A and B are shown apart, each in its own frame.
Chain A
Amino acid sequence: MQTDRATGYLSTLAGKVQFALGDEAIAYGALFAGCTFFGGYPITPASEVAETMARELPNVDGYYVQFEDEIGSIAAVIGASRAGAKSMTATSGPGFSLMQENIGYAIMTETPCVVVDVQRSGPSTGQATKPAQADVLQARWGTHGDHEMIAFAPNSVQECLDVMIECFNLSERYRHPVVLLADGEIGHLREKLVFPDPADLDLFPRGGFDAADEAGLVEPMRAYGEGNAVHITGSTHKENGMRDVVSQDVHERLITRCCAKIDKNRDNIIRVEERFMDDAETVVVSFGADSRPALGAVVRARNEGVKVGYFRPISIWPFCGERLTQIGKRVRKILVPEMNLGQLAREIERFVSVPVVRVSKIGGVAHSVEEVYQAIIENSRS
């Protein structure tokens, strides 16, 4: 996939340390993952992803195109992916909403692509320049119809790069769109970033399906432009790709397989971080930007002898519900600091029977360590 020139260029970056923005790290993650097509439309706080890609893609024999809107961007990304390029776009809530129909198209046609949503405060233009974490459910259910979703939420600049590579790998492996659910806080955070050595990376190549899908639910993808007369449609289709929108069984078979390929591979996709869990009586579950003050608060409370644990979903979808069910059997309470009105908390409630306490904060500001610490103390008194 990557040309020699691209690998050569990325090798010159290996080991280099930069003081970089989360958005820039996202872009570099894509480049290291082998992305050669970016279609996008400017929006705060995601524009720096586009700007970095516009500058760097020509160095890896890749293409940047700014479209007339986000609908065109995601459409071109899917087209480029079908034509053989690992492809992506980056946006924020308003643009992410516009993309939803074609995200469904990517699901239905099993076309890999990565969509970055650097979340900002909404609905609508809301607080356009302020971060939020309120697209958790839009990422999961934004497009219509039955489907699964893969989404990851990084909480550091380094993780933006690392997780982006994983997003591309999963997207290629399962032939499914993958969402990087970043947030304005992380996207605009400047922190240390170490570039990997391309030689150390395990990249999932196009068509590399030999041992890929343990459940045998993903077929190799036939590219366009290679003389195969490939027919692709977003309508319900049979195994040979031909449309059949009337047979109940054809639709059921297609959709259950598309869902199963994610669901049955949950263990291969889900990633979480757990700390101080062994004897925890209360556990703080938090993701993305808000997990940073959450961890700070847990550490402070621990230092004072409070038996509190820290649990961070790195993958948001598929959801780590089974693991939380196990945890829910041992703890008394789960606290969920998040920059929305309880979107993650609501999902957790489906898996545990202990109380799930919403520690929500909206308005464009992440929790402070003190705020989460106070919530821990209040909820740890019996």
Chain B
Amino acid sequence: MIIIDERYCKGCSICIHFCPGKALEVSKEVNSRGFYAPKVVDQAECTSCKQCELYCPDFAIFIVEDAESADG
């Protein structure tokens, strides 16, 4: 599952660019810090490749395995 930590996101869109599926897109609205954060379009598109997590300059997006996330 994709998790976005809005506290740290600076809206650079690198994660969206590197997602090989179509799991992410740019939000239409700015977040509390004034950036266009990514938004999850479809969790099912995520293959847990972690490209977004590895490329993010700000520790603002990451993947958790589903078993963990169920009650997380």
Q: Do chains A and B touch in the complex (CB under 8 A)?
A: no
Chain B positions within 8 Å of A, measured between CB atoms, are none
